[in-house]
């Protein structure tokens, strides 16, 4: 089946029911199925949903941001941290100026070292999405070639 472009609103909750994120009151999300633009578990479960569909989508940690990986936690000498000033537990920063450089979370600080966690903040967390599909259409040949959705009708608005 040819991939589609799907537009949806969502409310994301953690296992305790706390709202982590929502598109309510803002713009819906538009993505190309199978292009890696949303987490795999959500992409897989929205396949074939028609415009107007409303459903609860449960996504396991493994199909969301992955399981928490303890090898992604490292102690680093303070003088090697690319951040000026004080660091506090919970601070997040990019490890280099390169856009692809990892974003890490400070999990511990002492006089000489900083412990950093490179896991996504939602790694190891099962997620629940309340979803309303606003629109769904077949992807255009250009969208498939570019690997992302264009406008509502498939018109190109990109440099790719």
User: Are 21 and 92 contained in the same domain?
Assistant: no
User: Are 37 and 90 contained in the same domain?
Assistant: no
The CATH number that applies at residue 39 is 3.10.50.40
Please list the residues that pair with 127 across neighbouring strands. Answer: 59
User: Are 91 and 22 contained in the same domain?
Assistant: no
Model pTM score: 0.83
Give the residue, 147 or 133, on which the prediction is more confident: 133
Quote the pLDDT of residue 98. 87
Domain span including residue 80 = 74-117
User: Are 54 and 133 contained in the same domain?
Assistant: yes
**Within a domain: residue 18?**
yes
Quote the pLDDT of residue 153. 55
- CB contact at 8 A, 142 and 154: yes
Confidence of residue 101 (pLDDT cuts 50, 70, 90): confident
User: Are 12 and 89 contained in the same domain?
Assistant: no
Mean pLDDT of the chain: 92
Quote the pLDDT of residue 7. 96
**Within a domain: residue 153?**
no
């Amino acid at each position: 089946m040819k991939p589609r472009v799907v537009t949806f609103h969502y409310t994301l909750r953690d296992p305790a029911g706390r709202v982590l994120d929502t598109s309510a009151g803002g713009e819906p999300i538009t993505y190309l199925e199978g292009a890696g633009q949303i987490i795999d578990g959500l992409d897989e479960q929205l396949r074939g949903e028609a415009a107007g569909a409303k459903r609860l989508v449960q996504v396991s940690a493994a199909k969301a941001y992955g399981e928490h990986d303890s090898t992604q936690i490292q102690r680093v000498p303070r003088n090697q941290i690319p951040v000026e000033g004080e660091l506090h537990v919970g601070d997040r920063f990019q490890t280099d100026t390169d856009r692809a450089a990892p974003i890490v979370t400070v999990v511990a600080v002492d006089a000489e070292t900083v412990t950093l966690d490179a896991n996504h903040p939602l790694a190891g967390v099962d997620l629940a999405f309340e979803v309303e599909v606003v629109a769904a259409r077949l992807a255009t040949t250009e969208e498939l070639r570019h690997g992302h959705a264009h406008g509502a009708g498939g018109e190109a608005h990109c440099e790719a």
